[in-house]
Amino acid sequence: MARIVMKFGGTSVADLDRIRAVASRIKGEVERGHQVAVVVSAMAGTTNQLVAWCQALSPLHDAREYDTVVATGEQITVGLLAIALQEIGVEARSWQGWQIPIRTDGAHGTARMLSIEGRDLIRRMQAGQVAVIAGFQGLGPDNRVTTLGRGGSDTSAVAVAAAVEAERCDIYTDVDGIYTTDPRIVPRARKLRKVAYEEMLELASVGAKVLQTRSVELAMNERVRVRVLSSFAEGPDTPETGTLVVDEDEIVEKEVVTGIAYSRDEAKVTVRKIADRPGIAASIFGVLAARNVNVDMIVQNVSAEGLTDITFTIGRADLPRTRAVLEEARPQIGFAEILTDPNVTKISVVGVGMRSHAGVAGTMFRALADKAINIEVISTSEIKVSVLVAAEYTELAVRALHSAYGLDAA
Interaction site with ligand ASP (CB under 6 A): 9-10, 41-42, 47, 73, 135-136, 150-154
For the CB of residue 114, give the shortest distance to ligand ASP in the complex, in Å. 19
Residue from 21, 69, 130, 178 binding ligand ADP (CB under 6 A): 178
Residue from 125, 175, 226, 404 binding ligand ADP (CB under 6 A): 175
326 or 364, CB closer to ligand ADP? Answer: 364
Of 24-32, 146-154, 156-164, 254-262, which segment contacts Mg ion by CB under 5 A?
146-154
Residue from 4, 5, 6, 10 binding ligand ADP (CB under 6 A): 10
End-to-end CA distance of the chain: 39
Q: Which helix (H) or strand (E) element contains residue 257?
A: none
CB of 188 within 8 A of CB of 402? yes
Looking at beta carbons, which residue is closest to ligand ADP?
9
Residues 291-310 that bind Mg ion (CB under 5 A): none
Residue type, 44: A
Among candidate residues 200, 332, 185, the one with its CA nearest the CA of residue 262: 185
Residue from 181, 263, 311, 348 binding ligand ADP (CB under 6 A): 181
- Pattern 106-145, binding to Mg ion, x per CB under 5 A? ----------------------------------------
Residues 126-155 that bind ligand ADP (CB under 6 A): 151
Residues 213-272 that bind ligand ADP (CB under 6 A): 259
Cα distance between residue 21 and residue 145, in whole Å: 30
Cα distance between residue 71 and residue 65, in whole Å: 10
- Pattern 34-63, binding to ligand ADP, x per CB under 6 A? -------x----------------------
CB of 409 within 8 A of CB of 190? yes
67 or 154, CB closer to ligand ADP? Answer: 154
Among candidate residues 82, 53, 348, the one with its CA nearest the CA of residue 213: 348
For the CB of residue 104, give the shortest distance to ligand ASP in the complex, in Å. 14
Residue from 97, 118, 151, 152 binding Mg ion (CB under 5 A): 151
Cα distances from 395 to residues 90, 262, 270, 371, in angstroms, run 44, 9, 25, 12
SS3 396: helix
Task: Give the number of other CB atoms < 10 A from CB of residue 234.
Answer: 6
CB of 317 within 8 A of CB of 223? no
Binding of ligand ADP by 273 (CB under 6 A): no
Measure CA 327 to chain center.
31
Is the peptide bond preceding residue 101 cis, with omega within 30 degrees of 0? yes
User: What does the binding site for ligand ADP look like in residue numbers (CB under 6 A)?
Assistant: 9-12, 41, 151, 173-175, 178-179, 181-184, 208-210, 259
